[in-house]
Chain A
Amino acid sequence: MTALALSGLQAGYAPDLPIVKGVDLSVAAGETVAILGPNGAGKSTLVKAVAGLVPVLAGRVRIDGLDVTGAPSYRLCRMGLGFVPQTENVFTRLTIRENLEVASDRLTRSDRAARIGETFAMFPDLGARPNRLAGALSGGQRQMLAAARALLARPSLLILDEPSAGLSPKLVAEVFATLRRIADTGVTLLVVEQNVRAALTLASRAVVLVDGRVAHDGPVAALDRDRLGRLFLGHGAAA
């Protein structure tokens, strides 16, 4: 079954200036896909358009077969899309527990308590100090909280925009270990990454975007170093 299908997707902030210039992409349920590409390739714009944060200028977005093109982000969240932005991905003036409660306030009180309990069991660092302000957390802890929040809603599709950005190598390893555990639960993962090595250890398939278009789409095993280097550098973009 197809979890996400994009057909001819164009997206950007101005109608006459698309950043994503006609992307066709199909992600199967349970698959883990890495979106790679040089800076300015349109990776973040692509996933933000899917998440309802950037206007779709043309094309269609389907999640689990439903056409959700242009749907607001809160509806997409309620339909099973979890999105973790690269920055500003937690509410810094709310506590860890409140961040999780905002994401689960549509559940009954008992269901909410149970889900938050499960989340704290999965992320013990967060459960150790639930009343700590999210603004006081380190970069890695914020990424964990953002991922925990997204998982709390039990999404069928989880999109992460550069989860390793700004993190130390040790924290990157922790974040990707967590993502691997999430992928093992059957959640479909779409991960935008600049850290190519880390992304390729997680994903089974890589999509390389260059100048807003898909330049490569195939199994990670088929993407050798030379081919990747040519894709990143061959179009004059910085790696």
Chain B
Amino acid sequence: MNPQGLVDGLIAGSAIGLGAIGLTLTYSILRFANFTHGDFIAWGAYFTLALLGGLAGLPGLAAPLGPFSFGASLVLAFAGGALLTVALALVLDRILFSRLRRRGADAIILVMASFGASIALRAALEFIFSSRPAYFTRTLQMAQPIGPGLRATPDQMLALGLTALAVLGLHLLIARTAAGRAMRAVAENPALAGIYGVDVARVVRTVWAIGAAMAALAGVTSGLLVQIRPTMGFDLLLPLFAAAILGGIGSVPGAMIGGLVIGLSEAFAVQIVGAEWRAAVSFAVLVLVLAVRPSGRFGPRAR
């Protein structure tokens, strides 16, 4: 077996993990599987791409930063793209999901609404940007040796580092801060959280914002390392759900580890059974986890 699968799997898994974090957070707070999360990934990438185009005329910003394939313009564009993705998620919640919640809609209604919104968001991307693949940069990078039989480009190493930082930061936020305690309280019992003085609506907005920002980061790292397509997030949905469920709903480290397990499983499955079975890996993991331990490997044990 080629050990390069380890690097490929970790890189693919980090994008899956980032996406799964947003999915698992919104599921734990809002109690429904949000299909639009994949589209936040794609919109995050396209928002960044559009802003990058706008910054192209500014001198000095496009020059590559150190060993990387992109310049400061992509960093600035990502900051704006992440904010716009957060705004998109909050607007969608305001005009769609919060109205349904107020009417006491069942989870299945929210899931169907998110499925419809997902189709609309994807169609809007294709209408605005076309379905042709796009790229943040066309600079070719040479993969450097990083260990026995292992190679990675500087962009790939950066994506892994950024993912690790984001996950660590988010984990600390949830475990150590007032906002994190409020999120955990609302996830367990929203009515009781209100009695404790927690503004549940504000916590819901915070969770949408965090999930959307993580999705934007996943979209930009994925777009930087592969390509940008309107369906890039939708294609990730099955691995995202598999990672979130494997990691245990509500667990940020669990979602990340779940993402890495899915990414590595896919990478090695490609070598063992062929690339055409790649998508089946997530499905197999999902079915296995649901059959053996529905609360996930890292989630609370079912009582």
Contact = CB atoms under 8 A, between A and B. Distances in A.
A181 interface: no
Given A94-B181, A101-B181, A78 B197 contact: yes
A91 interface: yes
Contact of A105 (B178, B192, B300): B178
23 contacts: A51-B195, A74-B195, A74-B197, A74-B199, A83-B195, A85-B195, A89-B192, A90-B192, A91-B184, A91-B185, A91-B188, A91-B192, A92-B188, A101-B178, A102-B181, A102-B185, A102-B193, A102-B196, A102-B198, A105-B178, A105-B182, A105-B198, A149-B196
A74 B200 contact: yes
A94 B188 contact: yes
A83 B195 CA distance: 7
B194 A93 contact: no
A73 interface: yes
Interface string B284-303: 00000000000000001000
A103 interface: yes
A74 B190 CA distance: 11
Interface string A60-95: 000000000000111001100001010011111110
Contacts of A73: 191, 194-195
Scoring A72, A74, A90 by chain B CB atoms within 10 A of each residue's CB, the highest score goes to: A74
B296 to A, nearest CB: 14
A101 B300 CA distance: 22
B182 A102 contact: yes
Give the interface residue-count category, chain B: 10 to 19
Interface string B185-226: 100110111111111100000000000000000000000000
Contacts of B195: 51, 53, 73-74, 77, 83, 85
A173 B178 CA distance: 35
B184 to A, nearest CB: 6
Contacts of B188: 91-94
Interface of B: 178, 181-182, 184-185, 188-189, 191-200, 300
Nearest to A98: B181
Contacts of A153: 197
A230 interface: no
Interface residues of A, number: 25
Given A93-B300, A149-B196, A105 B191 contact: no
A77 B189 CA distance: 16
A77 B199 CA distance: 10
Given A91-B184, A94-B181, A103 B189 contact: no
Interface in A11-64: 51-53
Interface of A: 51-53, 72-74, 77-78, 83, 85, 88-94, 98, 101-103, 105-106, 149, 153
Contacts of A52: 194
A29 to B, nearest CB: 21
Contacts of A149: 196
Contacts of A94: 181, 184-185, 188
Nearest to B191: A53
B194 A74 contact: yes
Given A93-B188, A105-B181, 5 more contacts: A53-B195, A74-B198, A102-B181, A102-B196, A106-B197
Nearest to A51: B195
Contact of B194 (A77, A90, A91): A77
A73 B181 CA distance: 18
B226 to A, nearest CB: 38
A88 B189 contact: yes
Nearest to A53: B191
B181 A93 contact: no
Contacts of A92: 188
A93 B188 CA distance: 8
Contact of B196 (A72, A93, A103): A103
A88 B197 contact: no
A77 B192 contact: no
B191 to A, nearest CB: 6
Nearest to A106: B197
A91 B188 CA distance: 7
B192 A85 contact: yes
Contacts of B184: 91, 93-94, 98
Nearest to A105: B178
A40 to B, nearest CB: 21
A91 B199 CA distance: 16
B57 to A, nearest CB: 46
B300 to A, nearest CB: 7
B249 to A, nearest CB: 12
Nearest to B200: A74
Nearest to A89: B192
